[in-house]
Chain A
């Protein structure tokens, strides 16, 4: 694996870290199985692309993308809270609807962004020679900022109320927490983060495409679970860190699967990419247990 490929994995890992933080809020903190991500990720990208093509500052365009994501999350939450539609179905409906909305926003299935302004452009050399580390660095700043804000938020009264809403809704209501409002706010934050990921993603990708959302939720969930398994923690500061680590590791595994000449040597081909990635993730998740098993054996032997 070359340095550029390594940083490339880091870059997409950090983008999906934003997605994973969003998924953490919906699935874990609010206990709201939310599939809106597959729609809000390309929504963020679409809004960003259209804004930038129309001459709006890329930083503002990122904010607009995140705001659009927040709106999508609020719609999902509202469908559940007010219309009493089952959480999973509510999010599926919004995800499906967003496909059409995204096509409407972009006006076409693909909006190219090559040569357009981006949040990275001011820092990247004309010949792209430093692009490979500048882009991940800028995204890293976004992720760190998001983590700090989330860590702070979940230590405030509002944040604790939100955690209580997800942990035990009835108890939270009994304590005077407006759980409906908490769900709507939480879902807005969650999908805003995911859409921000989408907005950053299209800038690294050279264009927004309607197909970029496919599988977003799967990667986000995988990141959350990998993180939780490797760094089990109860403190929110560590939980958010774990999720970020999980997202980066997941993309690193893909880079490993892409780059391994050893695997090629024993007959694996490009069509096995997803399979190899899955096997690597399984190994990573079982590593602590495998280690414990061998330790136990050694103890028994002595």
Chain B
């Protein structure tokens, strides 16, 4: 009996801790407005969440904050930024979405599809700006690419496929088969695979797909393309990009040139990449956020794609992977790594 009573005391103590932790945060907004009122500075609150920490997604966040600063919203002065990462856990992403819905910030920035979906499922009133979502329409974040008339808008990282195909043809003029290493568990990668197959079929080029479920499978998948493909193309696949070095090794051994979709991978082993710069995408996302902070309605802003793509090449990797890049291609490049 005594023991049981002790437990109930413990439980109630814990409940008290939880409640105590609740109250100060709730009182805070009031205290904040009180302290900022004399200075007459209106503090805007922007909440940012990403499904996971990852160089590309972190670059987006940095871009957003820098652009907001450029537009006069400086963190710590007239801007409060609350960043939360779900650390790869969707259940936590849901809790973060609810925390933000409760905090009622001026804008929520949701980076990557699972985070964006949970935020959109949690609020219909707070403006939501998604970023680094490949297909916001398929993810049902917005009904179409037109201005949504809801509380949601944002930036897509969808790459127009034709320039990618043109690049592959320029890297290997006699292109017959494109090898494609991807994670079957990433929706963005499977969309690209379908589009790639359809687009290449018109030119009589086939796609050899090599699925890799985990980062440790990437090298095995790449090796399976030996003798079957003229080059290996990869999309913005989180697993594959994480394990890019392991593909580089296979590429050098088997003289299979690598073409990537993000410019960072050129430093890590790719011959060429025509890609989105994620920092620039963050800057563009920040522009949308600033427009909303200045009073525009998110529903009046159409979701956007990145217009500008940068071509990065690597002479060193080209030589190692058994090809030479044409002079014409070199001229188009924004940067050629020696």
Contacts and interface: CB of A to CB of B under 8 A. Distances in A.
Given A109-B187, A258-B96, A2 B103 contact: yes
B60 to A, nearest CB: 15
A258 B95 contact: yes
B124 interface: yes
A12 B97 CA distance: 12
B72 interface: no
Interface residues of A, number: 62
Given A112-B139, A291-B6, A5 B103 contact: yes
A85 B11 CA distance: 41
B161 interface: no
Interface stretch (B21-29, B258-266, B269-277, B300-308): B21-29
B229 to A, nearest CB: 23
Contacts of B53: 271
Contacts of A3: 26, 102
Interface stretch (B80-88, B248-256, B288-296): B80-88
Residue of B7, B95, B101, B141 ringed by the most chain A CB atoms within 10 A: B95
Nearest to B183: A109
Given A1-B22, A271-B85, A204 B94 contact: yes
A207 B117 contact: yes
A47 interface: no
B141 A132 contact: no
Nearest to B137: A112
A287 B14 contact: yes
A113 B113 CA distance: 13
Per DSSP, chain A at the interface is helix
B190 interface: yes
Interface string A248-285: 01011011101111000000001101100000000010
A171 interface: no
Interface stretch (A69-77, A139-147, A211-219): A211-219
B30 interface: no
A255 B95 contact: yes
Per DSSP, chain B at the interface is helix
B299 interface: no
Interface in A205-254: 205-207, 209-212, 214-215, 219, 230-232, 245, 249, 251-252, 254
Given A127-B125, A209-B90, A258 B99 contact: yes
B202 interface: no
Contacts of B22: 1-2, 6
Contact of A211 (B87, B114, B140): B114
18 contacts: A2-B103, A4-B102, A5-B103, A8-B98, A109-B186, A110-B117, A112-B139, A132-B102, A201-B94, A206-B117, A211-B90, A214-B90, A251-B95, A259-B21, A259-B25, A273-B85, A287-B13, A288-B10
A-B CB proximity, top 8 nearest: A8-B98, A4-B102, A2-B102, A206-B121, A112-B140, A206-B117, A110-B187, A5-B99
Interface of B: 6-7, 9-11, 13-14, 18, 21-22, 24-26, 28, 53, 83-85, 87-99, 101-104, 113-114, 117-118, 120-125, 138-141, 184-187, 190, 213
Given A103-B184, A109-B185, A273-B84, 19 more contacts: A1-B25, A2-B25, A5-B98, A5-B102, A8-B99, A12-B95, A109-B187, A110-B114, A131-B122, A132-B102, A201-B91, A207-B121, A211-B90, A211-B114, A230-B7, A230-B10, A259-B99, A273-B87, A291-B10
